Amino acid sequence: MAEEKFESSGFRVVDRRPFTSEGERNPGQDERAQETEPRRQAPPDPTPATETEPEAGLSEDSSGFATLVSYLSTTAMYQLGLLPGPGGEYLPPDLLNGRRTIGLLEVLEEKTRGNLSKGEAKLLEDVLYELRMSFVEVQKQRVSKQK
């Protein structure tokens, strides 16, 4: 009866191990490996950085410190319910994870203190101030709704 259930489920198991339980080469494994391996294409030719154009809305230093701060602050604002998600929907505030993301920015500030340019330090300070004030405001709204 177990065999009938197995066959009727449509589930199929294929042993792709290269060796048997005795440690010998599994016959036919080389052919199967060649059939299932994805074909690798040569990587595209790298173009010099001077010929590439930055994507719309991204600066040349888009992988830098400002981008990291922007990413974390946007994540925190989304978690606090201040920004819509990808589908345009607003989710209820997640104060725990919002506070954790703000905490990550605080760690970043602490660990990079003295190693940032004046502009980077000001950016991080301003973002942290705005996020902390937003967190307090969302927390106040949540408490007032519970009363």
Task: Name the DSSP letter for residue 19.
Answer: B
Three-state DSSP at 20 gives coil
Is the pLDDT confidence value at 84 over 80? yes
Res 63: pLDDT: 60
Mean pLDDT of 12-24: 69
Q: What is the pLDDT of residues 39-57, one digit of tens each?
A: 555 555 555 544 444 444 5
Q: What is the pLDDT of residues 85-135, one digit of tens each?
A: 888 888 899 999 999 999 999 999 999 999 999 999 999 999 999 999 999
The strand pairing partners of 5, in sequence order, are none
| Cα–Cα distances in angstroms (integers) from residue 72 to residues 47, 55, 90, 108, in the given order | 31, 20, 18, 10
DSSP 110-141: HHHTTSS-HHHHHHHHHHHHHHHHHHHHHHHH
Q: Looking at per-residue confidence, does 62 or 113 come out higher? A: 113
Torsion of Cα atoms, 20 then 26 then 32 then 37, to 10°: 60
Q: How far apart are CA 125 and CA 130, in angstroms?
A: 9
Res 49: pLDDT: 47
Tell me the two tokens of residue 65. Answer: 């410190």
pTM here? 0.57
What's the 3-state SS for 42-94?
CCCCCCCCCCCCCCCCCCCCCCCHHHHHHHHHHHHHHHCCCCCCCCCCCCCCC
How many residues make up the chain in this entry?
147
